[in-house]
A and B are shown apart, each in its own frame.
Chain A
Amino acid sequence: MWFKGYKLPNMSSLLIWGLLWEITGQLELTFFVPPLSEVFVTLFNIIGTPAFTKALYETAVAFLGGVFFAIVIGIPIGIFMGRSRLLDELLLPWVNIFVSAPLTALVPVLMVLFGFGLKSIIITTTLFGIWIIILNTRAGVRQINRSLIEMSTSFGASPMDAFTKVYFWAALPEILGGVRIGVIRAVKGVIIGQLLISIVGFGALFELYASNFLMSHFWAVLIVLFALAFTISEFLGYLERKVSYYAASR
């Protein structure tokens, strides 16, 4: 960001908003917005507590599990849909429905089907993340240069080789873009799962703090969550930029 010819450091807009938050909090306009400084003090107080580490652990397990399945199921389905007209016709309507469906409304159904435990939370997380991964992978595979496909065919690539050595890599920029958005959606999924299915992890902390009007605690946990999601998303963005050099020349 540039301001009057001076280069401002990255994320300096956050400083402005943080300052605004602090002022609003100090003015005590509403209990809902405590001063940012108070939130950070609370954050450092709760971050080492057993309750917090337990919640972090529970959320991390459910989140990583959900993202793992979203990726290992989503990418192959996306590749298959991109390569096979038949599968595409069969599955695309469903993918399009679910990518825009209010998945939260489905969570009670999942509870009936899979119980009240970790399994349902992981499935919820997967369901939040997987559709955009499928769609992006499909889009990536569909725009692979035709001659690259003909090349692998003409040199006798087996279907397995074609998938793992050509299609996957050729679609990688789009796949990473899909995974990045899918991971952000999965953050939503894991918290909604923990709130609705069984009150565990960060979901339980949100529930506890919100119902007791502990707003600085509430914001502190939200900041931790934001920081985690932001870090993962930035890391995937970094990987995306690393492969973008060939995105233009496929």
Chain B
Amino acid sequence: MVMSQTESAFADAQSLEQDIAVSVQGVSKNYGAVEALKNMSLDFPRGQLTSLLGPSGCGKTTLLKIIAGLLKSDTGKIIVNGKPVTGPGPNRAFVFQDFALLPWASVMRNVAFGLELRGVAKSEREDKAAKYINDVGLAGFEGAYPHELSGGMRQRVGLARALSVDANVLLLDEPFSAVDEQTRRKFQEDLLALVANENKTFIFVTHSIEEAVYCSDQIALLLPRPSRVHEIIRPNINRAIGVESIRRAPEYLDIVDQIWASLRAYVE
């Protein structure tokens, strides 16, 4: 993409002043003798999608769970919206790899479950849930049960549940790894639309290089043994060319290659 000098200078200045939604500062985590994370620091800009990408064992899910407040770090701290994290909180919502739906509850109750736990009245939470069920494309399935849905539809329920609590940080733990390839592509396109429309900060764990490059505003490349941030990559792909064309963009292909070059030494 060709940029005039003033434009690129403007973009640089903007990225310097960028508003940071989540800040990871010097976080370490050990499981017994195993170092899952070592002195990790990383910033997540507000309103953008940041991927945590790396080979298995690099601690990406551990880091996500520490940000969620599901795990305690041994040292360091997490700052969300200027406040340190002490546990799970309403400003963050989690989307699980295996969906984590209540199998005995309908789609409606599952989507509204986050609000139910917050004590929101039934009619109010169901109104809100209905809106997000519609947004994720599940209108008409409100009364269905998870075992009646396909994997992709189940993850849409998980996504709607996370959206309905209106947290401004969304944590997604390999959300598309348990759905089939076609559904996955559709999901990635929908995710781009969500990032553009919802004005939320997305933190996205994935082990797919293509997925990370396709969806992300920023990619944190993590490497294992010891776990560390190897590189921060900002793809800067012009999304205006349309979701269908991104996969053919030269920037997209270059960055995929570049990341693979960094990672291949760590894949046995």
Contact = CB atoms under 8 A, between A and B. Distances in A.
Interface string A144-179: 010110111111111001000110011010000000
Contact of B89 (A148, A156, A243): A156
A249 interface: yes
Given A156-B89, A249-B147, A151 B96 contact: yes
B88 A153 contact: yes
Contacts of B65: 150
Interface of A is mostly: helix
A172 B102 CA distance: 12
A83 B68 CA distance: 21
A246 interface: yes
B3 interface: no
Contacts of A170: 102
B129 to A, nearest CB: 13
A163 to B, nearest CB: 13
Interface stretch (B4-12, B24-32, B50-58, B111-119): B111-119
Contacts of A245: 103, 145, 147
Given A148-B102, A166-B102, A169-B102, A154 B92 contact: yes
B60 to A, nearest CB: 16
B94 A156 contact: no
Contact of A154 (B69, B97, B104, B118): B69
A54 interface: no
A172 to B, nearest CB: 7
A147 B97 contact: yes
A233 B161 CA distance: 38
A158 B117 CA distance: 8
Nearest to A152: B117
Contacts of A157: 117
Contacts of A241: none
A151 B93 CA distance: 9
Contact of A155 (B88, B104, B145, B146): B88
Nearest to A147: B100
A246 B147 contact: yes
A243 B90 CA distance: 32
A-B pairs with the 4 shortest C-beta distances?
A246-B103, A151-B100, A147-B100, A155-B114
Interface of A: 145, 147-148, 150-158, 161, 165-166, 169-170, 172, 243, 245-246, 249-250
Interface of B: 65, 68-70, 88-90, 92-94, 96-98, 100, 102-104, 113-114, 116-118, 145-147, 161, 165
Given A154-B92, A155-B117, A156-B88, 5 more contacts: A150-B70, A154-B69, A155-B113, A245-B103, A245-B145
